[in-house]
Amino acid sequence: MSTGTQLSWRVIFRLAWRNLWRNHRRSLIMLSAIALGVWGMIWMTALMRGMVDQMIDNSIKTLSGHIQIHAPGYLDDPSIEHLIPPVDTSPALQELLHSSDVVVWSQRIRVPAVIRSEREVYAVTLVGIDPEKEQGLSFIGESITDGDYISSVNDNRLLVGRKLLERLETKLNRRVVLMSQDPGNNIAERGFRIGGVFDTDPQATETSYVFGGLETVRKMLNMGSGVSEISLLGHDYRKLDALKNKAQSAAMENADVKTWAEQDPYMGTMLNVMDGFILIWFTIIFLALSFGLVNTLLMAVFERTREIGLVQALGMKSSNILLMVLVESIIMLIIGLVAGNILTWLTILPVQDGIDISGVAEGLEWAGMSSTLLPALQIKDVVLANTVVLVLGILASLFPAWRASRKVPIEAITRVWQ
């Protein structure tokens, strides 16, 4: 007995391709389902990632940076009593902050205060900044929409959020009074002219912070050379463990060094569970898709029972029949995936500058959302979506393919002969 020859891939492909188009309508419906499924996977993931990225970005830019260094106890009681030495007194810290591991850094004084206009009084956080160093680190350097950004650490003007300005019922260039406590627990107050107004997302930030020059604030608070915090940006907000360890070593003993995720556990958790969410989302869509795929293939196999019997009678081996159905499924999956990816690209393109969600953003401010949602299309999500559909699609097709290959020739042919 000669050994059975394996059917060439070309023949299997030709049979599978032609079989696929025997029932145009059914194949097109299935292809549309795959394409829409992939589109849904990638699109929703891009939106979810965009939302989380934006929330994290807002959180980081609001003031936290990637890593913050505080005096012990500051985070529980953010007052003037908990200060750390300034950077120029620590050679180790200077070396780290000027190394290639750190993109940008700044030190700040940050204390609770009360701001008073001629009509209203509000509680805020007064932040003394080095305006030059804040560029690229926090939102404040890029958010001035009226007036000017402060020019130096000795600038006497104050930067106020648009919303706070409205609440204080005051205007640019008018004077306000800031009041806080000095290190001796005495009232420290000073009049400031409003030099600039900032607009930022989320709007809660506009009512929470006011900014002044670092040295001006220091003088107002009658304090020495200490600062409340050092904030720095590394290269990747997801990979901060090594940088945190270096910062911990370089900072003063017992310094409280925390990443943005540790300072904002809600955001940190969002990031950590994001990949899990995406996988669950992909699985749900795929499950819906797989029922259609398996059903379509089973129908195709059922309709072709007579032919399968015929090719078995002609000497086609079960393995080739299994392969033929699998290849048919793979062709369908690949066409569907290509269509889905093109559809994704075509629909992401018009909204790459963001989707206006101002209608709902106000209600989501607590979560750090902005009024414009930028979809974040990541190659790894595209690859994952395509891989999930292709690999699980092939696995789902194994059952109908196996059913086809296990048909007993006589039973298949009997459907014709009787």
What's the min distance (Å) between Cβ of 274 and other proteins? 46
Buried b or exposed e, range 180-209, using 16+ CB within 10 angstroms: bbeeeeeebebebebbbbbebbbbebbbbb
Selected from 146, 230, 357, 409, the binder of other proteins by CB under 8 A is 409
Selected from 117, 312, 386, 397, the binder of other proteins by CB under 8 A is 312
Residues 342-381: x where in contact with other proteins by CB under 8 A, - otherwise, as a string: ----------------------------------------
Residues 4-23: x where in contact with other proteins by CB under 8 A, - otherwise, as a string: xx-xx--x---x--xx--x-
Pick between residue 158 and residue 311 the one whose CB is nearest to other proteins: 311
CA distance 222 to 111: 13
List own/partner pairs for 348-353 with CB under 8 A and 24 or more apart: 348/43, 348/46, 348/375, 348/377, 351/375
Q: Where are the beta strands (DSSP E) in 224-363?
A: 229-233, 256-259, 355-356
Instruction: State yes or no: cis peptide before 183, omega within 30 of 0.
Output: no
Selected from 41, 69, 144, 316, the binder of other proteins by CB under 8 A is 316
Give, rounded to a whole angstrom, the gap between the first and last alpha carbons of the chain: 32
What's the min distance (Å) between Cβ of 280 and other proteins? 40
Checking phi first, is residue 308 left (phi over 0); if not, alpha (psi -120 to 50) or beta? Answer: alpha
What's the min distance (Å) between Cβ of 276 and other proteins? 44
With CA atoms as reference, report the closest residue to 204 among 29, 371, 415, 333. Answer: 371
Selected from 102, 311, 377, 404, the binder of other proteins by CB under 8 A is 311
Pick between residue 2 and residue 100 the one whose CB is nearest to other proteins: 2
Residues 21-60: x where in contact with other proteins by CB under 8 A, - otherwise, as a string: -x--------------------------------------
Selected from 318, 341, 347, 378, the binder of other proteins by CB under 8 A is 318
What's the min distance (Å) between Cβ of 23 and other proteins? 11
Tokens of 217: 């604030």
Pick between residue 187 and residue 314 the one whose CB is nearest to other proteins: 314
344, 38 in Cβ contact below 8 A? yes
Selected from 315, 350, 359, 363, the binder of other proteins by CB under 8 A is 315
| Binding window for other proteins (CB under 8 A); candidates: 27-35, 253-261, 294-302, 310-318 | 310-318
Checking phi first, is residue 205 left (phi over 0); if not, alpha (psi -120 to 50) or beta? Answer: alpha
Pick between residue 121 and residue 416 the one whose CB is nearest to other proteins: 416
CA distance 194 to 116: 12
- The CA-atom distances, in angstroms, between 377 and each of 25, 235, 304 are 32, 20, 42
What's the min distance (Å) between Cβ of 295 and other proteins? 21
Tokens of 409: 């020739």
Which residues contact other proteins (rule: CB under 8 A)? 1-5, 7-8, 11, 15, 18-19, 22, 306-307, 310-318, 320, 409-410, 413, 416-417
